[in-house]
Every structure is written in structure tokens, then in C-alpha cells.
Amino acid sequence: MKLYISSDQEGVSGIATRSRDTWDQAENKRLQTEEMVALCNSILEYNPKTEIVVNDSHGKGLNLDFEKLPEPVDMIRQSPEILDQMYGIDDSYDGFMFFAHAMRGVQGALLSHVWEVHDVKINGKKLGEAGLAAYIAAHYGVPFVYASGDDAYQREIKDLSPTTEFDVVKYGMGRYVARNKHPKAARKIIADGVKRALKRLDAGEIVPVELPDAPYVLEMKFDNAGAADAACWMPGAERVDGRTTSFVADDIPTVYKAFYCQTRLQRGRLIP
């Protein structure tokens, strides 16, 4: 068995802020690391021969204490210029797991966002970061096996991928506040949940997300017209209105790259 794990930070129990404060960041990184340790150990208990690849996919990708993870685990670490949450996914994987958060604008969801973009749609369906991840994985036939996070993220995942196993480890009470399960309890929940998920995967009960029919129309709505101006420097991007761009392709990997390309271009705008 070969598994791809994308480890974002916002869904980890005990985390309710993305503060730049040094102490906050150290604590957040510790909590994220311990969650990944519990997850990977449980996977290896289920199947000691599992090939595990973890993508440290939050911020600059320098969050997880690599040496604390089990030795069989490989880690994808990237520069901020390349970083994306599913970098390296292909059809050699038997499943992927995505630890993240709800899409932007969901009432009560903790730290909800889709990078710096206001809304993202593919063929009219609004997607969060998990949706984009699930679509690129589905292109390669890779099932969305397991996730954890807050209750709003659970609702999003069940709508996106009904067969995915999910455990709630925190409850959103606003964008910057959550009721968290004790981290040790959350790790136990995750350790038990991933074993349930892998049993279901082995039984053929977890399947890839169903993709819409091609061509694929990517629509991205930005916070302001300046961001959309910058995003339209990407060849093939067209303007829908002051804040929205559109891009059309015949395959999901091209659409996925277009999303990240436009996101990075809008970061370079001079005037907010």
C-alpha cells in the first residue's frame, strides 16, 4: 500500500490562530507534528509495509519536525515558490489523506479560506482546498481515504466525497475560535479512524471523487480588481468581471496548475 498525506495546519486540534507570534507558531508546529506522528504510527500498525509520503503543506512547508515521524515515512519539502498541497501525486498511490479546513466564507468554520482567493469553481461547483486536492487525485484514480478537522470541514468533505472517512476533532465557533478536543484524545480518535478508513479502502468501499465532464472551466473570484489584473497575466486567463477570471482546459492537472499560477501572480500586485 502507498499513501499520500497532505498535512495542512488549521484542522489540528488545539490550533485556532495563524498568528505570526513566535510562541504561537512553535506550539502550532508541535501540535501538527504530534498529530502526524499518531497518524503514521497507526497506519504502520495496520500495515507495516505501507509506503507513506507526507507533504508538509502549510505555509512555507517548514512545520513538521521530520525526525519525530516514524523512520519509514518520506517527506515532501518545498520552497515557497513551488509549494502546493498535492505536489507529486500520481497514479502510483492507493489513496490520499488531506488534513485541512473548510472553504472561505462558511459560517462558524475555523480559519476558513482557499489560499488568498475569495471563491473557486470548476464547472460551476464551488470548491475549497480539499476539493482541488480531491479533483487532482481523482484524475489519477486515487481515492480520498481520510480526513479530520472541524465540523464545518466534515460537512464539506461529505458533500464532496461521500465515501471518505472523517473524524471531527474540533468544533468551529467562529473564524478565530473553536472548541477543541484534548490533543491526546484527538490523536487517539485519528489513530482509530485511519484504521477504519484503511479497512474500508481494502474492502473497496472508498472510491475517487467523481469528476465533472471535460472541458473544465475554472473560475476564480479575487478580493479586488487589482488581484484579478495580476492573475490575468497568465496565458489563457480571461476576465469575467472586475474580480473574476476564467480559464478552460481539457484536463484537471492543467486546471490545477492554473489555479496555483493565478494565486501566485495576484500575490505580486503592488496596490491592495
CA distances from 42 to 48, 69, 223, 252 (A): 9, 12, 41, 32
Residues 145 and 232 both lie in one domain: no
Whether 211 is in a domain gets the answer no
Residues 137 and 234 both lie in one domain: no
- The H or E element containing residue 22 is helix 22-46
Does residue 143 have a cis bond before it (omega within 30 degrees)?
A: no
Q: Assess whether pLDDT exceeds 90 at residue 205.
A: yes
Q: Which grid cell is 211?
A: 469528476
Residues 215-246 have pLDDT tens digits of 999 999 998 899 999 999 999 999 999 999 99
Residues 104 and 233 both lie in one domain: no
Residues 141 and 16 both lie in one domain: yes
Residues 263 and 141 both lie in one domain: no
| Alpha-carbon gap, residue 182 to 15, rounded angstroms | 11
Chain length of the chain: 272
Whether 183 is in a domain gets the answer yes
Residues 99 and 234 both lie in one domain: no
Whether 210 is in a domain gets the answer no
Residues 38 and 158 both lie in one domain: yes
Q: Assess whether pLDDT exceeds 90 at residue 176.
A: no
- Binned at pLDDT 50, 70 and 90, residue 85 comes out as confident
Residue 261 domain boundaries? 216-267
Task: Indicate the residue among 202, 227, 243 that finishes a domain.
Answer: 202
> Are 211 and 138 within 8 A, CB to CB?
yes
Residues 177 and 258 both lie in one domain: no
Q: What is the mean pLDDT of the chain?
A: 91
Greater pLDDT, 42 or 63: 42
Q: In this structure, what CATH number is given to the domain that contains residue 231?
A: 3.30.1360.130
Q: Assess whether pLDDT exceeds 90 at residue 22.
A: no
Average confidence (pLDDT) over 59-85:
84
Q: In this structure, what CATH number is given to the domain that contains residue 161?
A: 3.40.50.10780
Whether 28 is in a domain gets the answer yes
Task: Indicate the residue among 173, 202, 231 that finishes a domain.
Answer: 202
Residues 162 and 224 both lie in one domain: no
- At 195 the pLDDT is 98
Residues 157 and 258 both lie in one domain: no
Residues 89-112 have pLDDT tens digits of 999 999 999 998 868 887 887 887
In the block, cell 486540534 appears at 13
Residues 183 and 231 both lie in one domain: no
In degrees and rounded to multiples of 5, residue 103 shows phi and psi of -70, 165
Which residues, at least 6 apart from 37, have a Cβ–Cβ distance to it below 8 Å? Answer: 68, 69, 70, 187
Residues 163 and 261 both lie in one domain: no
- R_g of the chain, CA atoms, integer Å: 18
**What is the total count of domains within the chain?**
2
Whether 207 is in a domain gets the answer no
Whether 185 is in a domain gets the answer yes
